[in-house]
Amino acid sequence: MLVKLALLDRSGRDPRPLLDAQRERLVPVASALRARLAHEVGFDRTVVLWRSETIEATLRFLDAMSAPEAADAGRTAG
């Protein structure tokens, strides 16, 4: 993801289509993991919790990168 964002930045292209596509793919996975979390126990719960927290962090990152101020900063930084 970071390499793709770097290449888009270097080419002066808008990263939002990539960010939107990533978000679209991850939202259903995040929902499924949240549902599984309620039923898992032991180390299986640990693994599902790890995956869920990782995806939630990625979604927060995607949202922050999609915010208008992030897009503006990318255009003026180079």
Q: Which domain holds residue 50?
A: 41-67
**This model's pTM is above 0.75:** yes
- 34 lies in some domain: no
- Residue 64 CB: number of other CB atoms within 10 A? 11
**d(C-alpha 39, C-alpha 22), whole Å:** 27
**d(C-alpha 30, C-alpha 52), whole Å:** 6
**d(C-alpha 48, C-alpha 38), whole Å:** 10
- 21 lies in some domain: no
Q: Model confidence at 68, in pLDDT bands (50, 70, 90)?
A: confident
- 20 lies in some domain: no
Counting the structural domains of the chain, the total is 1
pLDDT above 80 (res 40): yes
Q: What does the pLDDT read at residue 72? A: 63
- 45 lies in some domain: yes
- 35 lies in some domain: no
- 7 lies in some domain: no
Q: What does the pLDDT read at residue 71? A: 58
- 75 lies in some domain: no
The amino acid at residue 48 is V
What's the pLDDT tens digit per position in 11-25? 999 999 999 999 999
Residue 40 phi, psi (nearest 5): -85, 155
- 48 lies in some domain: yes
